[in-house]
Structure 1
Amino acid sequence: MSTTTPNWIAEITMEELEANPHPFYARLRAEAPLAYVPALDCYVASTKEMCRRIANADDGDFEGVITPAGRRTFGEPAVLDANGEQHDQLRAMVDPGLQPSEVDRYVDDLARPIARRYVEQFENDGRADLVAQYCEPVSVRSLGDLMGLQSVSSDKLREWFRKLNVSFTNAGVDESGHFSNPEGFVPGDEAKTEIREVLDPLLDKWTVEPDDSALSHWLHDGMPEGQVRDRETIYPNVFVFLLGAMQEPGHAMASTIAGLLTRPDQLERVIDDPSLIRRAITEAVRWTSPIWSATARRSTKDMTLDGVDLPAGSVVMMSYGSANHDENDYDDPSRYDLDRTPVPNLAFGAGKHACAGTYFATEVVRIGLEELFEAIPNLNREADHETDYWGWGFRSPVELRTTWEV
């Protein structure tokens, strides 16, 4: 442990970060925008300026990397951990089906029937936990069907991303740099075993009978005639998608609803004018970024940034959730405000490793909210029930208990 690390940084725990990272990161932004955090065994960039500076570096000073816990969870080669030609090849595998023009071709036919089906299951009940009953199921079903996993239940998809999340965020280390909770990787390992058991037969089928599913395209696109992509290249990126891409739309949807419920007048405006939904989503992912602090960069040489010495090979965690609360860019950042002056946020990252599914995720959220607000225009937060949030790597409402007149 660095002897120069202030006590207030050295004493922070993973449990505190998971419960509520905001107070700690607010102090980091004010006092140490780039700082070594022993609990994470890496440096943390907490302001928007510092995150952008590192994420957008195009001079070879930084490269994409995931934390040791992330690498332990996904394996290699994962797109988040690749650079140069390897990164270009992996993005060429996953990007084509996520381009806006391609998403526009299929997303309404994909997501709208799913959203309608789920909202019909509870719209006459007068109450629901929208995280468990709507936001997450719509999210995982939309991506699952896009990938070709129609045979996997929504509950199983949710179970997989929760188990992978436990593993990915098991980042705590002891003073010797070893994982402080090795058992924290067991849920992720269980999920990966199940995923392979389910996907192997599907990949066998798509090898000889290609279809329009994303995973079939991953196998075949860009490969020489008669060849398919190696599965050990595909699986780490399947795990990336089943974690990040599975949760991102659902948790962005939940945070949009939660934010609007704090401002009933703004919720009423959005319900009356669905054209405001995209703006509501943009503010929500700034207010509670689904991928709060889950991507990183590694320095390629010794350098000094704003007086902080970064030896070559230093890992810097990009805390985009913190950057999106940067007081230099946002007045009263902890407040959800549909009327906030639009300022670009970092909810989906920046630079070459920015999220490939930004447009797809936003469109799934838009469609989900359109269907929900049309079916239930008188939504309210359940009386006496506070909305709790959890997560440091990925963050969202734990539950969203709502009521309405039937």
Structure 2
Amino acid sequence: MTTTQQPSLAWLDDVTMTELERNPYPVYERLRAEAPLAFVPVLGAYVASTAEICREVATSDSFEAIIPPAGGRTFGHPAIIGVNGDVHADLRSMVEPALQPMEVDRYVDDLVRPIARTYLEKFEDAGKAELVADFCEPVSVRSLGDLLGLESVDSETLRRWFAQLNRSFTNAAVDENGEFANPEGFVEGDQAKAEIRAVVDPLIDEWITNPGDSAISHWLHDGMPEGETRDRDYIYPTIYVYLLGAMQEPGHGAASTLAGLFTKPEQLEEVVDDPTLIPRAVSEGMRWTSPIWSATARISKEPVTLAGHDLPAGTVILQSYGSANHDTGLYDAPSEFDLHRPPLPHLAFGAGNHACAGIYYANHVMRIALEELLEAIPNLERDTSEDVEFWGWGFRGPTTLHATWEV
């Protein structure tokens, strides 16, 4: 009788957060091959790296949502991404009305298209731009900021807030005792939250007595008994979730789609010639570099066997959707952007009852932004004198994306 030698996982002891933030793909490729479910010491949790396991955890009744420790330290409680039962149902009922397809169809074009055009007018005659800072992120944050009722906050401040919250949320490294390895990494997130409250508290004061049509005003009032509102401390964690994840996702999804198309100039040309291909390009861009890369988690409610592991109740599993979307069991050459890839479902928006509530909204923000960009600048090319660098493990996207065109 022969036995199969199991690979040693001692190499996981040497994995660092810096490595994961700069380029998580090699680590996760090896995890998918050797240990699709494995405890990663620097993260202090099990990691699910394949599509099959991620989907099973997301949809199993044996698991419920939990916010990763660094996320909980950043957002507080109850954040919509980390609660269950009646609280989760209430928070979903609070945010979902504005994100339903029929409602999004009513407002999204009038909201996003003028914003995209405003930013395009600033650089379309310049012959060059850095598309993350000049277009993709500003369109994303301005659109959602206005929807939330934060018209008074300039776009650069919104971008800074989500960047500070992002770095705080993904300050996930722990030491051998399970304590945060870099507690100072949460300071800038705390500073952002203090600024947010200084701006939003007066708006909430006004909306409590004079309800408006902003999303946050509706969060305060909708579904509440006459004369009552939700407590501001109850909704603030979800406001922070929006100011990070919901602002980051469309901006970085659009930027990643462009970065992917730049790797296949002939496919970029196809999309320019036929804008109806933009939604397909966006879907592939979200798979290729998932903006919410590894920012969600589940905890086992009971002892469970998963991927050959007997796990006790209370086991935390980080769902690495960015890794699942590169699963060679589903996708051929997953590290390549391919507009013509068979349209298999991806996990960029999660799965189960905690799947992203803003799927429809985010897809349309990206579609409209890219429609406007490629119509205004159909001869867009990547500036090959500048590198394209990506950053992030929890949330991921290009840090810069330089482009040129003939004017």
Would you say same fold, with TM above 0.5?
yes
Consecutive unaligned residues in structure 2, runs of 5 or more = 1-6
1:29 aligned partner? 32
2:386 aligned partner? 385
Query: Post-superposition shift, 1:385?
Result: 1.8
**Alpha-carbon displacement from aligned partner over 1:22-67 (angstroms, at most 9, x marks no partner):** 000001111111110010000000000000111011x3x1000111
Correspondence 1:339 to 2:333:
no
2:12 aligned partner? 9
SS at match of 2:70: helix
Query: Post-superposition shift, 1:5?
Result: 7.5
1:105 aligned partner? 106
Correspondence 1:163 to 2:197:
no
Given residue 173 of structure 2, which amino acid in structure 1 is its aligned partner? G
1:3-402 pair list within 5 angstroms: 6-57=9-60, 59=61, 61-402=62-403
**Alpha-carbon displacement from aligned partner over 1:256-288 (angstroms, at most 9, x marks no partner):** 111111100000110111100000000000000
**Alpha-carbon displacement from aligned partner over 1:2-39 (angstroms, at most 9, x marks no partner):** xx982111211101000100000001111111110010
SS at match of 1:331: coil
Q: C-alpha separation between the residues in 1 aligned to 2:308 and 2:235?
A: 41
Query: Post-superposition shift, 1:208?
Result: 1.2
Q: C-alpha separation between the residues in 1 aligned to 2:323 and 2:109?
A: 33
SS at match of 2:158: helix
CA change 1:140–1:5 in 2 (3 A) is farther
SS at match of 2:42: coil
Given residue 294 of structure 2, which amino acid in structure 1 is its aligned partner? S
Q: C-alpha separation between the residues in 2 aligned to 1:5 and 1:227?
A: 58
Q: C-alpha separation between the residues in 2 aligned to 1:306 and 1:228?
A: 45
Query: Post-superposition shift, 1:383?
Result: 2.4
SS at match of 1:36: strand
Query: Post-superposition shift, 1:309?
Result: 2.4
Given residue 289 of structure 1, which amino acid in structure 2 is its aligned partner? S
SS at match of 2:328: coil
Aligned residue pair count: 401
Q: C-alpha separation between the residues in 2 aligned to 1:93 and 1:5?
A: 47
Is the CA contact (8 Å cut-off) linking 1:255 and 1:288 kept in structure 2? yes
Given residue 101 of structure 1, which amino acid in structure 2 is its aligned partner? M
Q: C-alpha separation between the residues in 2 aligned to 1:9 and 1:84?
A: 35
Q: C-alpha separation between the residues in 2 aligned to 1:134 and 1:251?
A: 11
Q: C-alpha separation between the residues in 1 aligned to 2:268 and 2:105?
A: 26
Query: Post-superposition shift, 1:303?
Result: 1.9
Q: C-alpha separation between the residues in 2 aligned to 1:5 and 1:299?
A: 26
Q: C-alpha separation between the residues in 2 aligned to 1:228 and 1:314?
A: 36
Structure 1 segments of 4+ aligned residues over 4 angstroms from their partners: none
Q: C-alpha separation between the residues in 2 aligned to 1:121 and 1:95?
A: 34
Q: C-alpha separation between the residues in 1 aligned to 2:23 and 2:64?
A: 29
Identical columns (%):
65
**Alpha-carbon displacement from aligned partner over 1:107-128 (angstroms, at most 9, x marks no partner):** 0000000000000100000000
TM superposition score normalised by structure 1: 0.98
Is the CA contact (8 Å cut-off) linking 1:5 and 1:36 kept in structure 2? no
Is the CA contact (8 Å cut-off) linking 2:53 and 2:307 kept in structure 1? no
**Alpha-carbon displacement from aligned partner over 1:197-220 (angstroms, at most 9, x marks no partner):** 000000011111111110010010
CA change 1:5–1:66 in 2 (3 A) is farther
